[in-house]
Amino acid sequence: MEVFWRIKGRVQRVGYRRWAIAKAVEIGGISGYVYNSPTGDVLIAADGQNDKIYDFMQACFKGPFFARVDSIDYNPDLKQFFPTIEKGVFKTIR
């Protein structure tokens, strides 16, 4: 299952990207990218089994300690902002 999310709230300058990478690795089986949008949101492209993507999304609602997540919006149009997802890799893009 491939998903594209826009995460809104206080999600930049709080270690959200680094946290998201660590969380994806911890859950395992999730490939994708995380990106700081110029609008102040964090964008995530993720691919994996449905249950792992669901667990990742639930974790993303909490985020790192200093984050405040107001919403996670699924938007397949965000695919245009990301390179093709490489299996077995979850990393940040700038």
pLDDT tens-place values along the chain, 94 residues long: 999 999 999 999 999 999 999 999 999 999 999 999 999 999 999 999 999 999 999 999 999 999 999 999 999 999 998 999 999 999 999 7
Catalytic (active site) residue 50 = no
What is the Cα–Cα distance from 79 to 63, expressed in whole angstroms?
Answer: 22
**Residue of 10, 36, 50, 94 marked active site:** 36
pTM: 0.95
Name 47's bridge partners. Answer: 2, 31
Catalytic (active site) residue 75 = no
**Residue of 10, 17, 68, 75 marked active site:** 17
What is the Cα–Cα distance from 39 to 53, expressed in whole angstroms?
Answer: 25
Task: State whether residue 7 is helix, strand or coil.
Answer: strand
DSSP state of 38: T
